[in-house]
Amino acid sequence: MRTKPADHSDGAAPEHALKRAARHAHGGRSQLIEGVIEPLSLSWAHETVAERLRRQLGTRAADLHCIIGSGDLDLPGSPNWYVPDLAVVPAAVAKDAGALRPDQTLLIVEVTSEADADTDRSIKRRRYAEYGAPLYLLVDRQQRTLTLFAEPGRLGYTRITGPLPYGTPLHIPDPFGLDLDTSGW
């Protein structure tokens, strides 16, 4: 008995196959950037910045019934599967989720590394806006600056604070309503 070939004209099957490959490549520590599987390899200096942010955001995230993590973010209809350095996500949404969309987060944080700084500065900024991430914080370790992007739209973020040099407090708006202390970074 011969079966009819699957119709992949909408591109969904190849997209899902590519995203599955990205999730399983490099021991599950990889992401898909514009169709290219990129392994994640983070330095301790990188992790130190992420931990400082996690500590400052932690109490407010708990008050908001959110968790802070670096779980998978799917960008449906695109060749992208991201693993942000941090994301603040409502606990009820994350509870049973394998992957979330950027619009299901309250805040996404990317901390640049030598290998991925340009991706975080441009590609991810554009895609996070396109997929409705309400707040995107870019911590640029190479330039020693922080930039907060807010009010996403299909053409990008419409409100940008920064880049601010390390040592300058950065206000994270509602629902957080807190100032990040970047002194000593």
Give the model confidence (pLDDT) of 75-133 as tens digits: 999 999 999 999 999 999 999 888 999 999 999 999 999 888 999 999 999 999 999 99
For 42-180, the fitting CATH number among 3.30.70.100, 2.60.40.2550, 3.40.50.720, 3.90.1570.10 is 3.90.1570.10
Give CA–CA dist 121/168, Å, rounded: 20
Q: Where are the domains of the chain?
A: 42-180
The SS3 assignment for 91 reads helix
CA torsion sign for 138, 28, 31, 101 is: negative
The SS3 assignment for 13 reads helix
Residues in the chain: 185
For residue 104, give Cα distances in angstroms to 53, 127, 160: 20, 14, 20
Which stretch of DSSP H or E encloses residue 138?
strand 135-140
Judged against a pLDDT cut of 70, whether residue 12 lies above it is answered with no
Please name the residues in contact with 126: beta carbons below 8 A apart, sequence gap of 6 or more. 156
- Predicted TM-score of the model (pTM): 0.86
Check if the beta carbon of residue 23 is closer than 8 Å to that of residue 37: no
Minimal CA–CA distance to 119: which of 96, 142, 99? Answer: 142
State the CB neighbour count (10 A cutoff) for residue 4. 5
State the CB neighbour count (10 A cutoff) for residue 150. 18
pLDDT value of position 184: 85
Q: How far apart are the first and last CA of the chain?
A: 66
Which of the pair, 111 or 40, is modelled with greater confidence?
111
Which stretch of DSSP H or E encloses residue 87?
strand 86-90
Report the chain's mean pLDDT, rounded to a whole number.
Answer: 88
